[in-house]
């Protein structure tokens, strides 16, 4: 019997849920949701609470670890049950996974980002926090961080301070040591998905530090690697294996040491350990609640932005070169009374009231507040033409039929192969079908990589572009963008316009329709370099494809969404992510704010006046760029990194 067919993973018989935690990830990211079991189970004593999973193995694993109701989606992109059966009032998100983008469109729910721990990583001040109705932050430190780094975001109105409710859930250690050894937990983070996120110390610090620590008879080491360690870097993978070998060898030499490689749920370690060494990560901030001593590693990768404010500025840092001397560094921190006082003050700044039960009560109160707001402000009508079960919720797929026949949908692999090298046709015909497909893919990949290389060069060494159009979807989604090309070309006469696409098909499709500059960005690292080189003031979006929303996470510019008058699928909760919206002339004033719960007043809604002509549209774009320019010149807002 398939897991989905079991009643335990179907929606509850009695219907709706009050609170739903959305978790589209695989089991490798379970650490993000495990820490919320306790607070959610507490909440379930009075509310109807569930966890939505998209992978069968994830649903199975979570069901074995918590008493909460688990719902498995009928299909990864089929969220019809959420909309029609579960009808959750509040949806919680422990991460900013771009797979959240489908369910984020639901207007009948309040969407709340709860994250999976506090930290000063740039992730915690991403532009993406704006897509949620609320951000449940730990304390004042988070609010100050958002104020500094996220523009056009009403921190007072859209954040609620809840502390760290996990610390109020009892988690006794699975065992207890009876000796006098000082227990040190080394809990590094992983290598990150890109160089600018490589805070992890396993490869740069870990081996030398652990070797030095286990050599001391009065110390015990708990090595707690991040679950994602080594998935992108062989250096991290091999260093993790070496650390495990060192710990095993040390235990063979001295069984009483009881050094440990820990892969259990996090929580009990806060009580059992005496000292922590970690990286710039959420674990450091969880530890901060204990008031015990802490050391943080200095990232070895130069491109990684390090915090210049908050607790990280006062915590002792360990460089890679100092790793062999870690024992003496630990000893100096243990005897620094001034530093210990700073730890306590920092905990107050990051978490507020840490008295037993205070955080859990604040979390419960915050949920009650949002539930009440949702019930009082639920829209009385539904503007969407389709349900969330639509494959992509792209608001222009129905326009495919109106696109010219030369769209990239007609560029089939065989045709692409013929275009690249017609002379090879006789040889190609003799290949098997599989071989032909492999050869076609190789040629197209090579062509795409060549375009990307040329695009990178253009972005880095040519003039900047005040206007960027992000068009990461497929050609069949580009009807509205094509309709606006005349206006973009007019705007380009005074404000340079660049279009960034995500694939070769889109490049070919637009290249035949405009002479505007088009760059191909086939992954997040490449597009990040484009935004850095082009330094745009305004990023314009015409559809809500997943990768478009990913690029709206960049902080260093204003993001504008252009609505369509052909249908209203674009009018959904995801509009919160943008700083301004161009409203089609046919849309009545006030309709957007009426359709969405507590829609932010900070988002500008602009109409094309004086006739919906290319000239008027171009004027709106130029005005938006000039407004962005003035804000950038006058603001004390800190850009830092673009994402």
| pLDDT at position 448 | 55
Rounded Cα gap, residues 18 and 497, in angstroms: 45
With contact defined as beta carbons under 8 Å apart, do 562 and 480 qualify?
Answer: yes
CATH number belonging to domain 397-402+451-562+608-634: 3.40.50
pLDDT at residue 324, as a whole number? 98
* CA contacts within 13 A on the Cβ side of 614: 12
Give the pLDDT confidence score for residue 76 in this predicted structure. Answer: 73
Mean pLDDT across 481-502: 97
Lowest pLDDT segment from 101-115, 406-420, 478-492, 532-546: 406-420
pLDDT value at residue 438: 54
Would you place residue 399 in the very low, low, confident or very high pLDDT band (cuts 50, 70, 90)?
A: very low
Range(s) of the chain covered by CATH 3.40.50.11720: 13-163+360-377
- Percent helix, strand, coil in the chain, to 5, is 45, 15, 40
Interval 75-119: pLDDT, tens: 877 888 998 999 999 999 999 988 898 999 999 999 999 999 898
* pLDDT score, position 550: 87
182-343 folds as Rossmann fold (3.40.50)
Tokens of 68: 């909460």
- Beta strand 159-161 with 182-187 is unpaired
Three-state SS at 96? coil
In Å, how far are 87, 198, 270, 632 from 184, measured between CA atoms?
46, 23, 11, 46
Structure confidence at residue 502 (pLDDT): 93
Q: In sequence order, what DSSP letters do the residues of 333-365 get, joined into one string? A: HHT-HHHHHHHHHHHHHHHS--STTHHHHHHHH
Q: Average pLDDT for residues 517-541, to the nearest whole number?
A: 92
Q: Tell me how far apart the alpha carbons of residues 345 and 331 are, in angstroms, rounded to a whole number.
A: 22
Question: H or E segment at 72?
Answer: strand 69-72
d(CA 388, CA 385): 10
| DSSP per-residue letters across 521-554 | --SHHHHHHHHHHH--SEEEES---HHHHHHTT-
**Cα–Cα distance between 533 and 457 in angstroms, integer?**
10
CATH of domain 13-163+360-377: 3.40.50.11720
**Which carries the bigger pLDDT value, residue 618 or residue 445?**
618
> pLDDT tens for residues 297-337?
999 998 888 877 778 888 899 999 999 999 999 999 998 98
Lowest mean pLDDT among 303-307, 380-384, 433-437: 433-437
Long-range contacts of 585-591 (CB under 8 A, 24+ apart): 585/609, 585/612, 587/563, 591/383
pLDDT of residue 454: 59
Q: What are 317's strand-pairing partners?
A: 296
Encode pLDDT of 147-193 as tens digits: 999 999 999 999 999 999 999 998 888 878 888 899 999 999 999 98
């Amino acid at each position: 019997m398939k897991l989905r067919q079991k009643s335990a993973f179907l929606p509850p018989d009695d219907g709706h849920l009050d609170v739903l935690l959305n978790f589209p990830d695989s089991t490798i990211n379970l650490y993000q949701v495990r820490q919320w079991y306790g607070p959610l189970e507490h909440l379930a004593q009075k509310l109807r609470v569930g966890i939505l999973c998209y992978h069968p193995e994830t649903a199975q694993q979570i069901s074995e670890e918590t008493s909460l109701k688990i719902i498995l989606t009928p299909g990864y992109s089929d969220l019809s049950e959420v909309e029609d059966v579960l009808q959750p009032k509040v949806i919680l998100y422990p991460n900013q996974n771009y797979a959240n983008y489908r369910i984020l469109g639901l207007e009948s729910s309040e969407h709340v980002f709860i994250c999976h721990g506090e930290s000063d990583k740039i992730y915690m001040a991403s532009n993406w926090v704006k897509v949620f109705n609320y951000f449940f932050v730990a304390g004042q430190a988070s609010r100050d961080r958002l104020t500094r780094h996220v523009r056009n975001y009403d921190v007072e109105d859209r954040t609620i301070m809840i502390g760290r409710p996990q610390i109020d859930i009892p988690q006794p250690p699975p065992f207890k040591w009876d000796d006098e050894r000082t227990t040190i937990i080394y809990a590094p983070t992983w290598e990150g998905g890109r160089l600018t996120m490589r805070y992890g110390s396993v490869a740069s610090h870990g081996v030398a530090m652990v070797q030095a620590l286990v050599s001391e008879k009065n110390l015990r080491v708990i090595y707690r690697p991040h679950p994602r360690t080594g998935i992108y870097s062989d250096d991290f993978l091999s260093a993790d294996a070496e650390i495990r070998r060192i710990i095993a060898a040390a235990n063979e030499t001295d069984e009483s040491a009881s050094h440990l490689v820990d892969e259990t749920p996090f929580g009990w370690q806060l009580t059992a350990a005496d000292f922590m060494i970690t990286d710039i990560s959420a674990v450091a901030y969880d530890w901060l609640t204990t008031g015990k001593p802490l050391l943080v590693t200095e990232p070895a990768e130069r491109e990684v932005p390090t915090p210049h404010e908050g607790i990280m500025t006062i915590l002792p840092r360990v460089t890679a070169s100092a790793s062999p001397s870690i024992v003496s560094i630990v000893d100096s921190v243990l005897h620094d009374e001034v530093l210990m006082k700073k730890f306590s003050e920092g905990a107050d700044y990051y978490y507020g009231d840490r008295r037993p039960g205070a955080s859990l009560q604040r979390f419960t109160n915050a949920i009650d507040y949002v539930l009440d707001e949702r019930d009082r402000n639920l829209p009385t009508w539904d503007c969407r033409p389709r349900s969330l079960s639509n494959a992509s919720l792209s608001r222009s797929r129905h326009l495919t039929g109106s696109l010219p026949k030369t769209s990239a949908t007609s560029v089939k692999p065989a045709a692409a192969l013929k275009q690249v090298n017609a002379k090879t046709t006789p040889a190609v015909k003799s290949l098997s079908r599989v071989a032909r497909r492999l050869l076609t893919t190789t040629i197209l990949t090579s062509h795409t990589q060549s375009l990307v290389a040329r695009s990178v060069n253009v972005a880095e060494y040519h003039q900047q572009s005040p206007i960027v159009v992000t068009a990461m979807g497929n050609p069949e989604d580009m009807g509205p963008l094509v309709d606006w090309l005349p206006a973009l070309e007019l705007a380009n006469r005074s404000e340079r316009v660049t279009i960034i696409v995500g694939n070769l098909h889109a490049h070919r499709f637009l290249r035949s329709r405009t002479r505007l500059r088009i760059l191909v960005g086939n992954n997040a690292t490449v597009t990040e370099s484009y935004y850095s080189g082009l330094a745009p003031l305004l990023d314009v979006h015409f559809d809500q494809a997943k990768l478009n929303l990913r690029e709206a996470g960049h902080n260093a510019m204003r993001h504008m969404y252009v609505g369509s008058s052909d249908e209203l699928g674009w009018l959904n909760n995801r509009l919160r992510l943008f700083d301004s919206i161009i409203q089609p002339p046919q849309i009545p004033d006030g309709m957007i704010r009426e359709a969405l719960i507590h829609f932010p007043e900070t988002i500008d809604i602009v109409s094309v006046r004086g006739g919906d002509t290319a000239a008027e549209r171009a004027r709106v774009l130029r005005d938006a760029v000039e407004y962005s320019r003035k804000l950038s010149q006058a603001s004390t807002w800190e850009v830092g990194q673009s994402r």
